[in-house]
Amino acid sequence: MTTRYTKEDNPTIFGKILRQEIPSTVVYEDDKVLAFKDIAPQAPTHILIIPKEHFTDLNATTEGDVNLLGYMMTKASEIAKQEGIAESGYRVITNIGADGGQEVPHFHLHILGGHKLGALVGE
Ligand code: AMP
């Protein structure tokens, strides 16, 4: 099921991070997005970018989200440059739902890099 919450009632862990109820290591912030270090990094550099506006996942998006989605992809490349992994290469991933391995139901992009990444899809 897809949902949209306001910042105030977003019950996900990322909602708590946005409201600064729990700490995060922020690497970039503006009025539209927040980027912070993943708490359980799966590569030497593992950053999450989240929109400040809540929606569950890619399934919840409509054409009204085109600008925000494009903005987030552009920010992913800027953050990769800032973190020093743009030249060596990196991966941008969004997980969707149970089979996609999504744990946190607030849309986010993973930026992974800092070493040669393994196969895109595990078992
Ligand atoms: P996903 O499985 O695509 O929903 O990814 C959720 C990610 O959020 C995982 O990589 C977690 O390690 C990460 N995560 C969960 N809680 C926190 C937190 N408090 N701070 C930073 N990252 C977190």
CATH classification of the domain holding 93? 3.30.428.10
pLDDT at 123: 64
Question: At 78, which helix (H) or strand (E)?
Answer: helix 66-82
pLDDT tens readout for residues 31-71? 999 999 999 999 999 999 999 999 999 999 999 999 999 99
Domain range spanning residue 24?
13-113
Sheet holding 26-29, edge to edge: 26-29, 33-37, 45-51, 109-113, 90-93
* Residue at 1 is within a domain: no
pLDDT tens readout for residues 60-104? 999 999 999 999 999 999 999 999 999 999 999 999 999 999 999
The band of 8, judged by pLDDT with boundaries at 50, 70 and 90, is confident
E-assigned strand segments in the chain: 26-29, 33-37, 45-51, 90-93, 109-113
* Residue at 122 is within a domain: no
* Residue at 4 is within a domain: no
pLDDT at 53: 95
Nearest atom of ligand 1 to the alpha carbon of 104:
4
* Residue at 5 is within a domain: no
108 is catalytic: yes
Pocket mutation for ligand 1, best pick of 25, 27, 39, 55 (most atoms within 8 Å of C-beta): 39
CB neighbours of residue 1 within 10 Å: 7
Cβ < 6 A, ligand 1 pocket: 13, 22, 24, 38-40, 48, 95, 101-104
* Residue at 55 is within a domain: yes
* Residue at 91 is within a domain: yes
Out of 106, 108, 110, 115, the active site residue is 108
Pick the residue with more confidence: 66 or 2?
Answer: 66
pLDDT at 77: 98
Predicted model pTM: 0.96
Tell me how many domains the chain contains.
Answer: 1
* Residue at 6 is within a domain: no
Answer for the pair 35, 47: CB distance below 8 angstroms, yes or no.
yes
Distance CA 103, CA 95 (A): 8
Answer for the pair 78, 70: CB distance below 8 angstroms, yes or no.
no
* Residue at 21 is within a domain: yes
